[in-house]
């Protein structure tokens, strides 16, 4: 099995854990305060990952040029924008509707990858992406009034813009990695990750200092939980970035949809929440799309 598949799988597992940890922080810190934890407390771990790999490989950190800085800044700020739009959408709509719109991201990533990076996607890969996204729709969208709300102009616009933000983030990060002049795939991935987290941390620190100092101070009061969320976030991102260094962003972000069945499994086992036949069907279709994607790589 390709190395990027293992990287994406580990990323999905770590991100599921990070999301569960961050959910508990939202009550204590508020939305923006809990969001910044993944960046502020993740940055030191990303830097440690980079230093460990450079020491182990006896390889210097590549110096980012203007192209890497530009692509990485685009990805960093697009990810923040996507997160903000996602939070607005989740306040306005049900979790299922929000999830469905957000998980159209692989389609947008595929289109952006072709347009901006010249990625090559076969008809088989495009079909696999379509199958996986269809599974998310089945899993997330109920019939009845919710289905009507799904196609309402406001949630549609917010959802597509949030998905576009996350899509631009994936493309920006892959562009930053590929623009580095030298280094192995792992060094380039971790260099870009550390740079991205530094940009995001600086941006959100300025925001919190100006507008929400209480949330910033609160994240240090619950530093143990914040450190766990930061570590899991940095580790998940390191896996995603490693995947971006080895294959197209569309492949990685489509495979990342296995996170959806993982989250459902956590809800079922840990929180004892029931899983409906519709949800089981949606998870099966997602896994079928991921399997079709992997089959294309053989």
Residue 116 CA to residue 250 CA, distance in Å, equals 13
Q: What contacts 87, CB < 8 A, 6 or more positions away?
A: 31, 35
Mean pLDDT of 78-86: 83
Q: Using CB atoms within 10 A of its CB, is residue 78 exposed (0-12), middle (13-18) or buried (19+)? A: buried
Give me the pLDDT at residue 75, please. 96
pLDDT at residue 33 greater than cutoff 60: yes
Report which listed range, 128-142, 151-165, 234-248, is most confident.
234-248
Q: Which tokens in the block code for residue 150?
A: 């799904």
Higher pLDDT, 29 or 203: 203
Cα 257 to Cα 173: distance, rounded to the nearest angstrom:
18
pTM, to two decimals: 0.82
Specify the number of domains making up the chain: 1
Range of the domain at 256: 3-297
What three-state secondary structure class fits 195?
Answer: helix
What mean pLDDT comes out for the span 149-154?
53
């Amino acid at each position: 099995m390709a190395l990027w598949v293992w990287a994406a799988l580990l990323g999905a597992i770590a991100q599921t854990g990070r999301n569960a940890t961050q959910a508990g922080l939202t009550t204590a810190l508020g939305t923006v305060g809990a969001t910044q934890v993944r960046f502020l407390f993740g940055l030191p771990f990303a830097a440690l990952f980079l230093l460990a790999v450079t020491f182990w490989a006896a390889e210097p950190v590549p110096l980012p040029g203007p192209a890497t800085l530009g692509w990485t800044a685009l990805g960093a700020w697009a990810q923040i924008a996507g997160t903000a739009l996602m939070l607005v959408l989740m306040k306005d709509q049900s979790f299922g509707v929000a999830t469905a719109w957000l998980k159209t991201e692989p389609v947008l990533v595929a289109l952006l990858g072709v347009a901006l990076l010249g990625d090559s996607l076969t008809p088989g890969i495009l079909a696999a992406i379509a199958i996986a996204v269809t599974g998310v729709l089945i899993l997330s969208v109920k019939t009845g009034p919710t289905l009507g709300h799904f196609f309402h102009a406001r949630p549609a616009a917010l959802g597509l813009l949030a998905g576009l933000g996350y899509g631009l983030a994936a493309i920006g990060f892959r562009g930053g990695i590929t623009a580095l002049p030298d280094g192995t795939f792992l060094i380039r991935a971790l260099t870009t990750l550390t740079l991205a987290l530094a940009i995001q941390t600086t941006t959100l620190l300025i925001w919190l200092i100006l507008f929400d100092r209480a949330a910033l101070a609160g994240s240090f009061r619950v530093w143990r939980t914040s450190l766990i969320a930061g570590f899991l976030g940095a580790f998940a991102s390191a896996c995603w970035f490693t995947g971006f260094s080895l294959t197209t962003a569309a492949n990685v972000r489509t495979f990342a949809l296995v996170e959806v069945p993982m989250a459902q499994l956590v809800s079922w086992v840990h929180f004892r929440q029931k899983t409906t036949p519709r949800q089981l069907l949606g998870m099966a279709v997602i896994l079928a799309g991921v399997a079709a994607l992997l089959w294309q790589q053989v």
